[in-house]
Amino acid sequence: MVPFVWSDGCLRHEPEAEIWIGTRTPATEVPQRARAIREALLEGGAQEVSSAAHDDAALLAVHDPALVEFLRTAWDDWSAATLPSDRVVPYVFARSGLTSGRAPAVPTAVWARAGLFAYDTMTLIGPGTWEAARAAVDVALTAVDLVAGDGPIAYACCRPPGHHVTRSLYGGSCYLNNTAVAAAALLARVDGPVAVVDIDAHHGNGTQEIFFGRGDVLTASVHVDPGAGWFPHFLGFTAENDDANLNLPLPPGTGDDGWLTAVRDAATFAAPARALVVALGVDAAAGDPESPLEVTAAGYREAGAILGELGLPTVVVQEGGYDLGTIGPLVVETLTGLAR
């Protein structure tokens, strides 16, 4: 079984809610997700490795220092201002069309600052959000260390997820792009390109944006077609494809056959790389409340086998997956397929 990296710090983010289409709804990205996955891994006999602290080098290789500094201080500043909301939530957004190409001012009002860095209202910041997001980065970097050491595959059992975060903007229940951080860290250690294959049900728009046009990190994403009405809505289309980026949007209702064909295409695209990051969302599974894809547990095992066939040093980073009763077994299936 693939070893996994764990940090209790990842449990400290408890968003409790998301503001979705103007309504406060219960959070889906909850601490119990990570606990459920860990439990299934331990039951499956996987070795747990404690996360080790890492400096900000790999983090700042993929993120704007201003985003990192905002996230580090946002909750303290918000709570000191005694505002009506118990979470940081943006209300006015610094869109590029406002400022004729000029950089927007940094708002004096604490309650306006999130509008410089957030691109949605679903991704709330509260006590422990920064600590958990930073812990998830350490988990991903510890998994990179394991792969750069003796093992060919390691799994980062982390949350909050990261693949929706761009260089300078957070959203989609994500704060820091753990997958991109892992890819940047691997890039510094191998001789040649790194590939990211994202099999979360949603397009990995943040990872795409971070590495777009570079060529040293190949990005492929298999996801529900945003054109059919799914998050992230603005990105994830085939029109964004080039030599280093492959989007494989699928219609709602796609099951194992169509999904695995796309995973095979993503693996072929990734084959020239010298190391692989798998952005593992298990929300493509039938029954997940956040996506209309219909992948089975056997499908996830086969996806693992397809990616394992590449024979590359591989870091698997946890992204989405919201059905608390099945996410643990789905991760175990994928890792079992990978290690086959």
Q: Point out the residues that are catalytic.
A: 164
Q: Which of the stretches 33-41, 87-95, 137-145, 170-178 binds ligand SP5 when contact is defined by CB under 6 A?
A: 170-178
Our CB check for ligand SP5 shows the closer of 126 and 161 to be 161
CB of 320 to Zn ion, least distance (A): 3
Q: Which does 28 bind (CB under 5 to 8 A by kind): Zn ion, ligand SP5, none?
A: ligand SP5
For ligand SP5, the binding residue among 198, 290, 302, 323 (CB under 6 A) is: 290
Which residues on adjacent β-strands are paired with residue 245?
219, 242
Show the site string, 102-131: x = touches ligand SP5 by CB under 6 A, - = not.
Answer: --------------------x---------
Dihedral angle, C-alpha 59, 62, 64, 68, nearest 10 °: -30
Strand 275-280 relative to strand 314-318: parallel, antiparallel, unpaired? parallel
Q: Which does 18 bind (CB under 5 to 8 A by kind): Zn ion, ligand SP5, none?
A: ligand SP5
Q: Is 173 in the site for ligand SP5 (CB under 6 A)?
A: yes
List binders of ligand SP5 among 202-261 (CB under 6 A): 202, 231
How long a stretch of residues is the chain?
Answer: 340
Q: Which does 236 bind (CB under 5 to 8 A by kind): ligand SP5, Zn ion, none?
A: none
* DSSP assignments along 66-80, one per residue: HHHHHHHHHHHHHHH
Of the candidates 197, 156, 169, the one whose C-alpha atom is nearest the C-alpha of residue 284 is 197
Of the candidates 64, 192, 75, 172, the one whose C-alpha atom is nearest the C-alpha of residue 131 is 75
Q: Give the binding site for Zn ion (CB under 5 A).
A: 200-202, 281, 283, 320
Do 172 and 198 contact (CB within 8 A), yes or no? no
Query: Alpha carbon of 215 to those of 6, 127, 187: distances in Å?
Result: 31, 38, 12
d(CA 314, CA 333): 16
Q: Is 283 in the site for ligand SP5 (CB under 6 A)?
A: yes
CB of 318 to Zn ion, least distance (A): 11
Q: Is 26 in the site for ligand SP5 (CB under 6 A)?
A: yes
Q: Which of the stretches 43-51, 92-100, 172-180, 260-268 binds ligand SP5 when contact is defined by CB under 6 A?
A: 172-180
CB of 98 to Zn ion, least distance (A): 30
Our CB check for ligand SP5 shows the closer of 3 and 247 to be 247
Q: Give the Cβ contact number of residue 9 at 10 Å.
A: 19
Q: Which does 247 bind (CB under 5 to 8 A by kind): ligand SP5, Zn ion, none?
A: none
Which residues touch 332 (CB under 8 Å, ≥6 apart)?
40, 41, 44, 46
List the structure tokens of 99: 């400022």
Element spanning 220, H or E: strand 217-224
CB of 159 to ligand SP5, least distance (A): 9
Our CB check for Zn ion shows the closer of 126 and 206 to be 206
Q: Is 20 in the site for ligand SP5 (CB under 6 A)?
A: yes
* DSSP assignments along 243-262, one per residue: TTEEEEEE-TT-BHHHHHHH
Q: Which does 139 bind (CB under 5 to 8 A by kind): ligand SP5, Zn ion, none?
A: none
Q: Give the Cβ contact number of residue 11 at 10 Å.
A: 18
For ligand SP5, the binding residue among 3, 10, 13, 28 (CB under 6 A) is: 28
Phi and psi at residue 210, to the nearest 5°: -65, -40
Our CB check for ligand SP5 shows the closer of 204 and 313 to be 204
Our CB check for ligand SP5 shows the closer of 222 and 310 to be 222
For ligand SP5, the binding residue among 161, 193, 206, 337 (CB under 6 A) is: 161
